[in-house]
Amino acid sequence: MTWTHVSDVLFWDSAPAKLYGVRGIPANFLVDRDGVIVAKNLHGEDLEKAIAELLK
Give the domain ranges of the chain: 11-54
Please give the model's pTM, rounded to 2 decimal places.
0.60
Beta-carbon count within 10 A of 40 CB: 13
pLDDT tens figures, 1-46: 787 777 778 888 888 889 888 887 788 899 999 999 999 999 999 9
What residues form DSSP beta bridges with 29?
40
Residues in the chain: 56
Alpha helices, H only, 1-56: 15-20, 44-54
Residues whose CB is less than 8 angstroms from the CB of residue 3 and which lie 6 or more positions away in sequence, other chains included: none
